[in-house]
Amino acid sequence: MRTLALAVTVSAVISVGCRDQQPVQPTAGAGPAYLISDGAHNGNAHVFFLPPLAPDPGALFHAGAFNATLSPVVEVCILTGDPSSGAPVDCMTSGGTPVLVFGPAPMALDLANEQYTGNWDTKSPTLLDPTKFYRILVRGAPKGTALGFLDVDPVDRGMKNLRTGDVVQFQDGRTLPIKLRIEDGAFGSTNPDHVEHVVGNVATTVTTNTGFAGASFPDNWLPQGALDAGINQVVLIIERIPVGPGTNDQTCLQSGLTEREGCYRFRTDPDLHDFGPFSQLVTAGVCVESPNLIGNPNAPPFELHRRVEVEGVPAGPTIDLAEVAAPFLTCANFGPTPPSIGTINSGSVLDLASAGWHALVRGIERLVTPEALHAFDLGAGGSTDGFSRIGWARHVTMTKVGGTDGNSAIAGTTLTPDPAVCLTLTHHGVSSPLGNEPVT
């Protein structure tokens, strides 16, 4: 009886300069296709396969970036062909679902070595077929995005790295150790104010690293459709969206409503939109700024709204969220997006100074005007059954007063009656008149 092991098929391409976030497809005859995808091989720059499966990539690590708040899963599928043939290969599927021979299985956290570890029992539940090729994939959660993958080939005697020629024996003649480093940013966050954190189907509270935004989950919040699909956890990603001059977004929701910062994108991996609304409402919390509130205890209230994104652009209806407390936020140092250097010209330096002054006054405001802040729902949360862009807005509608529209008068004379409009503020489903507001 011969002993089967696995040969790791590793591309000889060395990554230099900027790394793409997708596996590189080589040109015909240039070498293996889709052999390994990680931060050392033109894949996700924040994910690294570790020895014995791959050469030590330690020189490419980002210091202090290891993310210990995840619970990744590993799975193994059968490939459609030989990855070393140069032709594109992928997991075999049945009914649109990858054919797995192992997993998805949870990986264990090894905090001391800043890595996640797992063991593939190559004899259970499915025996290796020496005529097949296999792909090891790691995801943040079942059905989630593949963070990295590595193609392997059953061979005699041990695990052979086809680039180095090294052979590593199976543990106990059947077990393949899988080790991986996942860093902050692996799920696509780019703003410094963010979080990437695993959330199961149990009560959990998560905030960004600043404490300016977060979410509180009750037990049994996952959609039933997600549970039926085998999704028992997700990775929560929250990151701030800069808005205003010098950014890609003039406002958060682009709703036509009066808006205030902050603005955050809430999402999950895997995306839960295809599985319906959350089974239980989740509290989303976002800090808010309001410099025009100072000294105005009767300021009209704002409330959290959400709006879905299509390819990064807000689309569809703007949905207001029922007000709930969000004591998990830390808003003491929150302020609006600072202007970019490119927008600071001779005419806007005073605007920058003004922004700094408002930030100072807002800090005082939180100490001495609690009634006004309560009217503005400062730091409050909103109940939501789904995630998207979430920000602060005031829902106001304007209607013309009958008899004051369409009138005419001779130039230089007074128009009678004066044009007039009625402003109506809607806050949590209750409408009330709004006065003393400029209309342009």
- Alpha-carbon distance of 68 to 257, in angstroms, equals 40
Question: What mean pLDDT do residues 164-192 have?
Answer: 84
Give domain status of residue 218, yes or no. yes
- Position 165 scores a pLDDT of 52
pLDDT of residue 168 exceeding 70:
no
Give domain status of residue 30, yes or no. yes
* 310 in the same domain as 268: yes
Q: What is the mean pLDDT of the chain?
A: 79
* 381 in the same domain as 356: yes
Reading the block at residue 136, the tokens are: 């090891």
Would you give the distance in Å from CA 335 to the centre of its chain?
Answer: 22
pLDDT > 70: percent of the chain: 67
* 107 in the same domain as 61: yes
Total domain count, the chain: 3
Give domain status of residue 80, yes or no. yes
- Position 302 scores a pLDDT of 84
Question: What mean pLDDT do residues 20-33 have?
Answer: 34
Residues 6+ apart with CB under 8 A from 143: 229, 230, 231, 270
- Position 336 scores a pLDDT of 86
- Position 208 scores a pLDDT of 98
Residue 99: Cβ within 10 Å count? 15
| pLDDT one-digit tens code per residue, 350-381 | 343 334 334 433 433 333 333 334 434 444 79
* 107 in the same domain as 67: yes
* 381 in the same domain as 257: yes
Contact 331, 287 (CB under 8 A): yes
Give domain status of residue 85, yes or no. yes
* 108 in the same domain as 56: yes
Omega before residue 419 within 30° of 0, cis? no
- Alpha-carbon distance of 77 to 94, in angstroms, equals 11
* 200 in the same domain as 114: no
Give domain status of residue 422, yes or no. yes
Radius of gyration of the chain (CA): 28
Give domain status of residue 187, yes or no. no
- Position 345 scores a pLDDT of 39
Nearest to 6 by CA among 181, 177, 137, 138: 177
Of 152, 182, 212, which residue is a domain's last? 182
* 153 in the same domain as 133: yes
Give domain status of residue 314, yes or no. yes
- Phi, psi angles (nearest 5°) of residue 367: -90, -35
In Å, how far are 69, 303, 389 from 318, measured between CA atoms?
A: 32, 12, 10
| pLDDT one-digit tens code per residue, 5-14 | 666 655 433 3
> What residues make up the domain containing 423?
398-434
Reading the block at residue 259, the tokens are: 């808006």
Residues 6+ apart with CB under 8 A from 117: 107, 108, 110, 177, 178, 179, 180
Give domain status of residue 440, yes or no. no
* 411 in the same domain as 366: no
pLDDT of residue 433 exceeding 60:
no
* 373 in the same domain as 344: yes
The reported pTM is 0.79
* 22 in the same domain as 154: yes
* 410 in the same domain as 361: no
